Amino acid sequence: MHKRNGTPSVAYDNDLAFLGDAPVLYHCHHFNLFLDQSVDDALGPKVGPALRFAAAREASYQLLASLVRAADAVTPAERVALAEHVFASMGHGRLRIDAPQGVGKAVGEHLHYGQAWFEKYGATVRRRSPADAFAAGFAAAAVDLAYDLPPLSSAATEERCVAMRAPRCEFTIRRGEPEEARPRVDRAAVAATSADGWIPAGLHEDAIASIAATLRAFLAGVESDDSGLIRAFGVYVTMHLAGYYNRITYDTITRVQATAPKMTEVLEMLFRESGHVCVFNTFGGILMSPEWEGAVGTLTGDPAEIVAGGVAIARALGFGRWRIREHVPGERLVIDAPATYESPYYGIRHGEAVRPTCYFLQGAALAIMQLAERVRWSERPALTQAFYNELFRGGLPWRVEQTRCRVRGDDRCAVVVTRS
């Protein structure tokens, strides 16, 4: 099946989403910027962007290779055109690629990362380095495929960036040495590591499944605008590559554990906070949207309503089949899932873990409890940075623990939120 603009439709297994062969999901610009910055803060201004470029190139190559096969795109021009179209349809802006045989340039207009960074921070902060490592990696992957070059060999450097007050983003593309291939984290591999055994249904299952289906149908009809961006729920939305998020997260953890192990706990806290950022901005925006009111009804602010709504949103966005195992308003929340978008990647790439590794699930579950208990939804609050700081940076009344994780051999991933 295809959408009106010709882009393949997203398919779901266990509420994990796939485009072609690649795991994908929906995230907003607040999450994207926060995660990138956390990686750069941990690894530094050279190693961080280099990792983000490599992760983007690898994940984009997997996606584009499967779409090229499906579209039977043979010529370089067909493959480049397909890549440019997919990039825009996913909400990442407009990218024009001109690099025959791996040498040339790419030009970006309204690129998601650069434009969103400038709009969020540009009035108060002067950025000193480019923001669009994802676009650079995507362009390099497109060139490798278009000209049948060795996979993961083209390099791209962003020379000008709108986040640095340039009128547009410009990239130089050149030939390079191919990166060593890693185990594939594709649809088949994810399915093999995230099967759901016989586990009782969660609380409010019928309502959650219905809301998730309604939201998913809405997302299926959303298309990027003329600038290649998706504006919805008060944020810039991207359909993004789970492989990108997971590689930059777990490669950063691995490097910090090897070089500065005492900083590991701080980094894990930041990755959990990415879940706070997502739930506050994206989940909150969806809950207060006209689409939610039309499909579900006006929010009453009842904690059970917010918790069930948050779990339904997670499913619709491709985060996995989250379920409410237990909920005592004001005291306790237990959420589990047969797999998250994090656990299959970690298991395939890194093997068995000693500690739980679903950082986003941990942070998101805590944030759902915070929104359920401490936001007066009937007052329609503005989801500003100041309100976020008030809720999440002034001392949290909750703590979260991941009690089960697929990468430790458990039958599911589960987190428990309780009063701290």
Q: Can you tell me whether residue 326 is helix, strand or coil?
A: strand
Asked if residues 154 and 143 have their Cβ atoms less than 8 Å apart, the reply is yes
End-to-end CA distance of the chain: 48
Q: What are the residues facing 17 on neighbouring strands? A: 12, 24
Q: Does domain 193-234+262-419 have CATH number 2.40.160?
A: no
pLDDT at 6: 52
Could you give the C-alpha distances from 3 to 26, 64, 125, in angstroms and in order? 17, 17, 39
Q: How far apart are CA 395 and CA 91, in angstroms?
A: 35
Q: How far apart are CA 144 and CA 302, in angstroms?
A: 52
Per domain, the residue ranges of the chain are 11-174, 193-234+262-419
pLDDT at 1: 29
Asked if residues 211 and 295 have their Cβ atoms less than 8 Å apart, the reply is yes
Amino acid, single-letter form, for residue 277: V
The phi and psi torsions of 35 (rounded to 5 degrees) equal -65, -45
Task: Find, among 186, 195, 183, the residue nearest to 13 by Cα.
Answer: 195
pLDDT at 3: 46
Asked if residues 63 and 25 have their Cβ atoms less than 8 Å apart, the reply is no
Could you give the C-alpha distances from 325 to 21, 336, 412, in angstroms and in order? 31, 7, 12
The widest CA-to-CA distance across the chain, in whole angstroms, is 60
Element (H, E) at 391: helix 385-392
Q: How far apart are CA 12 and CA 315, in angstroms?
A: 10
Region for residue 384 given its phi and psi (left: phi exceeds 0; alpha: psi -120 to 50; beta: otherwise)? beta
Q: Does domain 11-174 have CATH number 3.30.1380.20?
A: yes
Which residues of 370-411 form beta strands (DSSP E)?
398-404
Element (H, E) at 236: strand 235-241
Residue 62 burial (C-beta neighbours within 10 Å; 0-12, 13-18, 19+): buried
In which residue are the tokens 């603009």 written? 5
pLDDT at 200: 85
Q: Do domains 11-174 and 193-234+262-419 have the same CATH topology?
A: yes
Tens of pLDDT along the chain (420 residues)? 234 445 568 999 999 999 999 999 999 999 999 999 999 999 999 999 999 999 999 999 999 999 999 999 999 999 999 999 999 999 999 999 999 989 999 999 999 999 999 999 999 999 999 999 999 999 999 999 999 999 999 999 999 999 999 999 999 999 999 999 999 999 999 999 888 877 789 999 999 999 999 999 999 999 999 999 999 999 999 999 999 999 999 999 999 999 999 999 999 999 999 999 999 999 999 999 999 999 999 999 999 999 999 999 999 999 999 999 999 999 999 999 999 999 999 999 999 999 999 999 999 999 999 999 999 999 999 999 999 999 999 889 999 999 999 999 999 999 999 999
- Per-residue b or e along 155-184, where b marks 16 or more CB atoms closer than 10 Å to that residue's CB: bbebebbbbbeeeebbbebeebeeeeeeeb
